[in-house]
Structure formats: C-alpha cells, structure tokens
Amino acid sequence: GAGVSQSPSNKVTEKGKDVELRCDPISGHTALYWYRQSLGQGLEFLIYFQGNSAPDKSGLPSDRFSAERTGGSVSTLTIQRTQQEDSAVYLCASSSPGYAGYTFGSGTRLTVV
Amino acid sequence: EDKVVQSPLSLVVHEGDTVTLNCSYEVTNFRSLLWYKQEKKAPTFLFMLTSSGIEKKSGRLSSILDKKELFSILNITATQTGDSAVYLCAVEDTSGTYKYIFGTGTRLKVLA
C-alpha cells in the first residue's frame, strides 16, 4: 500500500481480555517495528521483524505480549490478559532495505478499562 | 545503557519566535540520527543526519549533528501555530539489531 496501515485505530477492552493489533507495512519493506507510546512518554521499542523472523524481541514487556509476521508483510501484535498499564498508543513502522529511517502508521490507541 | 535525552521537555513560544531543540545521545555504535514531528499519532519524518557539521535544511527547519559531542539540534525559525507538535529525536544503534532508540520528545506550543 501507499503507507503503513494499522487497525483498529482505537480499541477499548476490559481488563483481562486479549487483543490483537494489526499492521500492514508498505509493500516491499522488509523491516517492520512495533513501538509503544504511553501518555506523555517517548516511543518504547517492542519488537523488530526482518522478513518473517524476529531477531530482536527485547522490548516485549512480558510474556503476555507476542507478535508474528506472515508472508513478509502483515504483522499482528497480541496482548493477552490485558492490564491497565497496557493502555498506550501502539505504533508500527516499516523500512526498506538499505534505508535508515522509518515510515510510521497512525497507530492503535488501546485503552484497558 | 543506550539513551537519548531531549531538552527542553516542553516549550511555549509566540509566533515569529525562533526555537532550538536539543538532543543528546549515548549509544554503542552510532549510525544515524532522525528527527520526527508528531502532531496526532503518526510521527512524520523531518531529517536524517549521519555526518557531523553538515546542516540539513527544509524551509524554516534546520538541523545539525555533532558526533564528537554526541548531540544534535533542531532549529525552527519564524515559528507558526502549525509548528505546534512533539518533536522526537531517535538514534540508530547497530551494536545489536538495527533499531532506533527514541527520546521522550520536546512538546512545542506556538501561540498566535
């Protein structure tokens, strides 16, 4: 696509429920990143994909968080048993080979009530 | 530990003023530094800097990198209300995998 697409744009969920956030990167971008931004904070790295593999998962805050990428394209970030501290904007970004810099999606605002 | 520190945290100015935003960093293996503007949710790209002393310029915005002192500045001249946003600095560290470490940002508000 023309840009990085994320869905849903907003999600309100009850504490303890599971949620899935989707990212559709720019076509041809092999690198895909997930970041989290809590209110008033900077971007916190979660996970990095190169193709379908994830060489860096160091930012996932707990084992309730997981992510996968299929076909070198769409990625899904799953949060199980959501907690209130998971409330944040989840941003996805992608980049093309040889280019140092990201294109961001518009993010998913997750609110856990 | 790698870190990126931005200052000031917030800034309020009047239209027409000039502002300077600061970004200092400590990373193991520096490759590039990026500046982004974030108005709603999606940060939008402003500049990528890789070499010291070479100013990047786009309209009223400019930026420069000092790799010896480990910092960058973003200047905005003749500010407008549309410049109100959070400005994010990010540094690429290649010591592990290729990812950017972001600062917490500077929130700029330009008053009419």
Contact B32/A at CB under 8 A: yes
Say yes or no for a CB contact (<8 Å) between B105 and A89: no
Q: Residue B19: what residue type?
A: V
Report the Cα–Cα distance between both ends of chain A, in Å, rounded: 33
Reduce the DSSP state of residue B15 to 3 states and report it: coil
Reduce the DSSP state of residue A97 to 3 states and report it: coil
The first and second tokens of residue A94, run together, are: 């992608």
Reduce the DSSP state of residue B83 to 3 states and report it: helix
Distance CA B19, CA B78 (A): 9
Average pLDDT, chain B: 92
Chain A positions touching B44 (Cβ under 8 A) are 104
Closest residue on chain B to A39 (Cα): B104
B3-7 and B10-14 as β-strands: parallel, antiparallel, unpaired? unpaired
CA–CA–CA angle A80, A92, A77 (5° rounding) = 20
Q: Which of B42, B50, B105 sits opposite A107 (nearest CB)?
A: B42
> Of residues A99 and B30, which shows the higher confidence score?
B30
Tell me the percentage of chain B whose pLDDT exceeds 70: 98
- Mark residue A47 as left, alpha or beta (left: phi above 0; alpha: psi -120 to 50; beta: remaining): beta
Say yes or no for a CB contact (<8 Å) between B100 and A102: yes
Distance CA B68, CA B89 (A): 18
- Give the 3-state secondary structure percentages of chain A, helix then strand then coil, rounded to 5: 5, 50, 45
In tens, the pLDDT along B92-110 reads 887 766 788 999 999 999 9
> How would residue B23 be classed by pLDDT, with cut points 50, 70 and 90?
very high
pLDDT block averages, 10 residues each, chain A of length 113: 89 98 94 90 90 89 95 95 96 82 92 97
In tens, the pLDDT along B32-78 reads 999 999 998 789 999 999 989 899 999 999 999 999 999 999 999 99
pLDDT of residue B2: 82
- Write the CB contacts of A11 (distance below 8 Å, at least 6 apart in sequence): A19, A21, A108, A109, A110, A111
Residue B42, min C-alpha distance to chain A (Å)? 4
